[in-house]
Amino acid sequence: MSVRFYMDTVRAGGDLNRESFLHEIEGFRKYLKVLNRADKTVQWYIHDALLFLRHVENHYDLKGLSGIGKHELRDFLAMELSRGISRKSLMRRVSGIKMFFRYLIEEGLVQDTSILTVDTPKADKRLPKTLSQNQIKSLLRGIEGERPIDKRNLAILSFLYGTGARVSELVALNIEDVDFNTGLVRLRGKGGKDRIVPAGMFVIERLKHWLESRHDMGEAVFTSMNGRRISDRHIRNILRAALQRAAVQLPLSPHGMRHSFATHMLENGADIRTVQELLGHMSLSTTQVYTHVATDKLVRSYQKFHPHA
């Protein structure tokens, strides 16, 4: 892919005038290729570097790259924000431009490293999608049945909601990880970090019903009907079908069951650090997003039911 191809992707009008800028962009492209960056990443990084350089040409009387610093970058970011660019795109802009100047510094083409100290904008926090407690009841009630596949699907969704497990943790679950007497379950979390969580007897009973109904007794708790360990995609399809059957008009991923678990725990008075431990979050700040969801629902309930609200 040529530099001209990347230049054609830049929506702002006009071409770069400085041949030196074009030369360094070509060098940057080769640099990214040596780093084995994906083609799409290379394309966007060069796109963002070109946008920034065009801004510099149009707004500053600089003799070369060596005159560009953090003030020019901050001015460019402010202009982009005024155009209504998303925070996600702005974050990528900063990453691409910083990478470009990292290349220039390593090549000895510029000495000013101030651009590398510009803070990357934080992404907008999106509140997780969750089901209400009544929707969870309808969801689980709608897939009850006596067939082995019904018992398995009910056990899967009950497990996700009853433990707050990640889908990957459910997929990796083995029979030896479940203590059927105490209701405790060992989950294999991110980075190989295991944790022990309570599943609740309503989950344990549904696990028993499923395991008793299947023919194959391999080590995996959750399998397809032919005995193979179940996949992430299979679980997604099970949830989608269950949502349709329960007439729940909300596009929800299996991770949404984990979100619902955390939100409902907080709504019913659980301590946030307890929820942090159950979810296996390293940082409390990761768990705190659920307090926004719970608080938002409390405010709506207050406004709806308080006579003076």
pLDDT in tens, 172-184: 999 999 999 999 9
Q: Which residue has the higher pLDDT, 53 or 189?
A: 53
- Rounded distance, CA 242 to CA 215, Å? 24
pLDDT of residue 57: 81
pLDDT of 9 over the 70 cut: no
Using alpha carbons, list the distances in angstroms from residue 245 to 140, 167, 239. 10, 21, 10
Beta-strand pair 178-179/184-188: antiparallel
Beta-strand pair 194-198/178-179: unpaired
pLDDT of 87 over the 90 cut: no
Place of tokens 């799409």: 40
Residue 230: CB atoms within 10 A of its CB come to: 20
pLDDT of residue 12: 37
Using alpha carbons, list the distances in angstroms from residue 199 to 33, 159, 185, 287. 48, 7, 6, 19
pLDDT of residue 23: 81
Domains annotated on the chain, with CATH: 3-117 (1.10.150.130), 133-305 (1.10.443.10)
Q: What separation, in Å, do the N-terminal and C-terminal C-alpha atoms of the chain show?
A: 61
- Residues labelled as active-site residues: 166, 190, 255, 258, 281, 290
C-beta of residue 240 within 8 angstroms of C-beta of residue 113: no
Query: What does pTM read for this prediction?
Result: 0.58
Lowest mean pLDDT among 117-121, 136-140, 232-236, 304-308: 304-308
Residue 192 has which token pair? 């190989």
pLDDT of 140 over the 90 cut: yes
Note the pLDDT tens digit of each residue in 24-63: 888 899 999 898 888 888 889 999 998 888 888 888 876 6
Lowest mean pLDDT among 4-13, 99-108, 113-122, 151-160: 4-13
**What does the pLDDT average to over 191-203?**
86
- Phi/psi for 189 (5° steps) reads -85, -170
How does residue 297 score in pLDDT terms, banded at 50, 70 and 90? Answer: low
Gyration radius (Cα) of the chain, Å:
26
pLDDT of residue 278: 86
The percentage of residues in the chain with a pLDDT greater than 90, rounded to a whole number, is: 34
pLDDT of 13 over the 50 cut: no
Burial 166-182 (b: 16+ CB within 10 A, else e): bbebbbbbeeebbeeee
pLDDT of 3 over the 80 cut: no
C-beta of residue 48 within 8 angstroms of C-beta of residue 88: no
Q: Which residue has the higher pLDDT, 282 or 200?
A: 200
C-beta of residue 136 within 8 angstroms of C-beta of residue 252: no
Burial 192-225 (b: 16+ CB within 10 A, else e): eeeeebebbeebbebbebbbeebeeeeebbbbee
Strand residue runs (E) in 117-265: 178-179, 184-188, 194-198
pLDDT of residue 238: 95
Top mean pLDDT of 52-61, 111-120, 222-231, 300-309 is at 222-231
Average pLDDT, the chain: 83
pLDDT of 120 over the 80 cut: no
**What does the pLDDT average to over 245-262?**
88
Residue 237, SS3? helix
